[in-house]
A = this chain, B = another copy of it.
Amino acid sequence: MKNMKQLITLLFIFFFPSSLLADEGMWPLSEIHRLNLPSKGLQIPVDIIYNPKGVSLVDGICNIGGCTGSFVSPSGLILTNHHCAFSAIQEASTEQNNYLENGFLAKTGADEVPARGQTVRITESYRDVSSEVLSVVQPGMEPGARTKAIEKRIKEIVLDTEAKNPGKRAEVAEMFIGKSYVLFIYTYLKDVRLVYAPPRSIGEYGGETDNWNWPRHTGDFSFFRAYVAPDGSPAEYAAANVPYNPRRHLKVSPAGVGDGDLVFILGYPGRTFRHRTAGYLDYEYRVRMPATVEWYGWQIAQMEAAGKTDPAAALKLAPRIKNLSNTFKNYQGKLVGIRRTEMLAAKREEEKRLTGFIQADAGRKAKYGALLEDIGKVYTAIEAASARELLLLFLTRSPDAVHVAFTAYEAAQERQKPDVERESSYMERNWKQTSSRLLLSLRNFHRPVDQSILKELLVRAAKLPPGNRISALDSILKGGEPAAAANSFLNQAYSSTRIHDEKFVEDLLTRKPEELARMDDPFVRLAVALYPEVHAMKDAEKRREGDLNRLYSLYVDVKREFLGGEFIPDANSTLRLTHGHIKGYEPRDAVFMQPITTLSGVVEKHTGEEPFDAPEALIELQRKKDFGPFAPPKLKDVPVAILYDTDTTGGNSGSPVFNARGELVGVNFDRVWEATINDYGWSPAYSRSVAVDIRYVLWVALKLGKAEHLLREMGVKTN
């Protein structure tokens, strides 16, 4: 197994045409030498960023709770987003010490508060396991069997690696579908402590209203510190632990950046879908996303209406509304972005040319002649099943009562199987998290809303055409008019169920399928009845995945031939670099967004009411123009957020934004609304990401947080 310092180029790339050498791309580190960054303004050698033979900036970053974090001192100080630290801050809060509302500062190391459940992941090494994974694939294999075989093989590699590397955790990432797989080995630091968090009124300033928007005025940052055992090894929290000493820490630059400056970002972007066909995008654009937007919007409206008359309900429903809204707004942005950039037409045009290329050569025609049509057939099948399958999906997810009962029954079924054959969330290594999340969800159970959601789904199910029915529901619906039949079932079911009772659910999670099947709770019974149909749906999905796995592997081959160059894989939560410039944009006719916001803008948005309730102290400091050394002479104000045209997606939260000298100048936390299309393609006009400016981080920490010692620890002057 090769060390981080000896990466193999071939792992990560396939083929990229020179046209892709614009600002587009979430680049595997092994490929960044192709970008010629010095010619674009980079003032340091590329091997300062990434050096397979030594320590580089890459060693200064980590994954913290699904986000990216930066080590900003030799003593394990980590800078990431406030929204990434949210649950840790909440968990650490007590009634007396509400750190979420009031913010938190540890004056000394002894005051740092354990962030229980928070872990820091450091990449130790990785290697290509494509042949090991694909060795289980036989030509002509039934597609569902192909999927299952690959999934099982990956799980075996993971379990085997973890057994051989005690204390480490292994993961296999699919780089190109059905083509290449990489095994990563990670170290997890488990003693993570909260060091500084601004109050929510800064860290979440703008809240849901400003989410996915620009201009932004959110101080979305917090500081943690990672600790290890005195011998340097990862350890659970212990008072005797010592600060972790990272291989490298990043230099924070209070000089910041200005309009037009080069920036680059290191981070762990989650998932993109750029190497898919027009048929895929068409299905997403025309079917899946609109259906999801409609259903989420319907649920949000229900929850908001319920919250209006009942403050207790509003409090309970707030986290669910927030989650739904995030996707709701994201998908709407994608739909608008795809329309505005005419992305679908561009994809179709590209495929037309690819088809011409295939047809032009007898050999290619023989091998790939039916390829695009075959992929198209899979999406046609997906679409044909979508009305029923989306409803089944919503049914097992949206109403808590069904979700809890169904998860319990599915868990009982899955946990009968050998570990490697289970669905990932039911494997031993994930079971604790799956079950505790399920129990946690009960706290926000709200019967009237839950019942209205399930009723709506039953009424919709009644409209499914014959041949596409959900038979488990037909027995509920058979009694005449669907709404009345649903009401009659639901009134009784919600009155008699114990599915919202924590003790009851804890017990369910210990039961065998046959025990559950004998219970008389109405939702457990519904789950048992639904299971064969959901199970059949998942099998169908696996068959379609198996088909696509095989077909997309061919697609990558022919695309390489066609482009006559190499291209980089879709994002898959592995480490990437993206570069670009500080740059405004025109979201719509006659509206130009400037790329830097200011402290005055924070005060300008202040209304005194959430989410625009800036602390009085901040307003006072702004009034007095008490900017410290953090207001550049040209701006005469503290920069708060910056905008740039790099290529990011979810998972880039917390990523360090570097200037041309490789210094940290911002903490990435969002994209603009139109840039939600990054998942499908990068647009020079609309792809803009958002960071909190390091000068605002430092100003808030110093002037409001009185965290002078942290600035000193980072080597930043305070006047």
Contact = CB atoms under 8 A, between A and B. Distances in A.
A54 B597 CA distance: 54
A518 B597 CA distance: 68
Contacts of A214: 590
A593 interface: yes
A594 interface: yes
Interface in A582-609: 588-598, 600-601, 604-605
Interface in A234-250: none
A119 B214 CA distance: 47
A597 B589 CA distance: 6
Give the residue among A215, A591, A596 with the most B Cβ atoms within 10 A: A591
Contacts of A591: 215, 591-594
A593 B596 CA distance: 16
Interface in A552-604: 588-598, 600-601, 604
A624 interface: no
B593 A590 contact: yes
A215 B590 contact: yes
A588 B605 CA distance: 8
Nearest to A643: B590
Nearest to A600: B589
A34 interface: no
A695 interface: no
Interface in A654-675: none
Nearest to A637: B589
A334 interface: no
A217 interface: yes
Contacts of A215: 588-591
Contact of A588 (B340, B596, B601): B601
Q: Please state the number of chain copies in the assembly.
A: 2
A99 B694 CA distance: 58
A543 to B, nearest CB: 38
A485 to B, nearest CB: 24
A591 B598 CA distance: 12
A592 B595 CA distance: 11
Interface in A56-80: none
A601 B340 CA distance: 11
B590 A604 contact: no
Nearest to A589: B601
Contacts of A600: 589
Nearest to A586: B594
Contacts of A589: 215, 217, 597-598, 600-601, 604-605
Contact of A597 (B340, B590, B597, B601): B590
Interface in A602-623: 604-605
A214 B590 CA distance: 9
A361 B284 CA distance: 79
A598 to B, nearest CB: 6
A600 B590 CA distance: 10
Nearest to A215: B590
A365 to B, nearest CB: 36
A589 B591 CA distance: 13
Contacts of A598: 589-590
Contacts of A594: 590-592
Given A214-B590, A590-B595, A591-B591, 5 more contacts: A589-B600, A589-B601, A590-B594, A592-B592, A592-B593
21 contacts: A214-B590, A215-B589, A215-B591, A217-B589, A340-B604, A588-B604, A588-B605, A589-B597, A589-B598, A589-B600, A589-B604, A589-B605, A590-B593, A590-B598, A590-B601, A591-B592, A591-B593, A591-B594, A592-B592, A592-B593, A592-B594
Interface of A: 214-215, 217, 340, 588-598, 600-601, 604-605
